[in-house]
Chain A
Amino acid sequence: AQKITQTQPGMFVQEKEAVTLDCTYDTSDPSYGLFWYKQPSSGEMIFLIYQGSYDQQNATEGRYSLNFQKARKSANLVISASQLGDSAMYFCAMREGPGNNDMRFGAGTRLTVKP
C-alpha cells in the first residue's frame, strides 16, 4: 500500500529565505508520480509541481523545485526566496500507475513566512 509521510507539522521561514518541506513515500511500484499542492487559508487546493519516477532531472516551476531522491524515496519541496503569500498548508501526494488512479496524500505541513 502507498504511504506518504510529511514529518513537519509546522515550519517557519524568514521572508526571502529558502525553505525545504520534507516528503517521503513508500511504494513497490516502479512507475509513479509525485505531486505537491498548496492550500492557502482560503481553502482551495493549488497544484504546484510534479515529478515522474522515471524523470532524470528534478522538476522546477518558478520558485518551486522538487528535490527527488529516488533511492531514499524522498520528494522534498524547495521554495526559494519565500514570500508572505507562501504561508499555507502544503501537501505531498503520490499516484502509482498508470493503471492506479488513486492519489494519496500526506498529512501536510503548515508553512508560515515571517516578515
Chain B
Amino acid sequence: EAQVTQNPRYLITVTGKKLTVTCSQNMNHEYMSWYRQDPGLGLRQIYYSMNVEVTDKGDVPEGYKVSRKEKRNFPLILESPSPNQTSLYFCASSFKNSYNEQFFGPGTRLTVL
C-alpha cells in the first residue's frame, strides 16, 4: 500500500528534551516536506527536500532541523523543544516538478510542557 508513515503519532515531552519525528514514504517520491498545523493558520511549511541530501527552509524553520540521507526517509528533529512548538505536524511527499497532490502522513500531535 502506497503510504506516508510518521512516528510517533502522539508525543508529550518537556522543554529542552531533544526529539525526532520520523517520516517514511514508499512511493519513490523525490519531494518531501514537513508542515505544522495550528488553529486559524492552516498548514505552514517547516522544511522541504527536493531529493537526497537536498533540503531547504520553509516558512517557519526556526527551532527545527531535518535530514535526507535516504530517499524514503525525512526525519524532523527538535533539538531543544519549547512550548510554542506544541502543534500537529504533518509529513508529506510527492513527485517533484509536477502538479501532483502531496500525500500526507497521519500526523504527529506534539505537546511540549
Interface residues of chain A, those whose CB is within 8 Å of chain B, are 4, 6, 9, 32-33, 35, 37, 43-45, 47, 50, 52, 91, 93, 95, 97-99, 101-108
Contacts and interface: CB of A to CB of B under 8 A. Distances in A.
Interface residues on B, range: 20 to 34
What are the 5 A-B residue pairs with the smallest beta carbon separation, nearest first?
A: A33-B99, A45-B104, A105-B42, A105-B43, A107-B42
B97 A44 contact: no
**Interface SS of chain B:** strand
B42 A101 contact: no
B98 A107 contact: no
B101 A101 contact: no
B90 interface: yes
B31 interface: yes
Contacts of A35: 101
A37 B45 CA distance: 16
Given A44-B106, A45-B104, A97 B42 contact: no
A103 B42 contact: no
Contacts of A101: 31, 48, 50, 94, 96-97
16 contacts: A9-B40, A33-B99, A44-B104, A44-B107, A45-B104, A47-B102, A95-B99, A97-B98, A98-B97, A101-B31, A101-B94, A101-B96, A102-B33, A103-B33, A103-B102, A105-B42
A12 to B, nearest CB: 19
A97 B43 contact: no
A51 to B, nearest CB: 10
A97 B58 contact: no
B41 interface: yes
Contacts of B90: 45
Contacts of B103: 47
A98 B40 contact: no
Nearest to A48: B101
B65 interface: no
Contacts of A99: 97
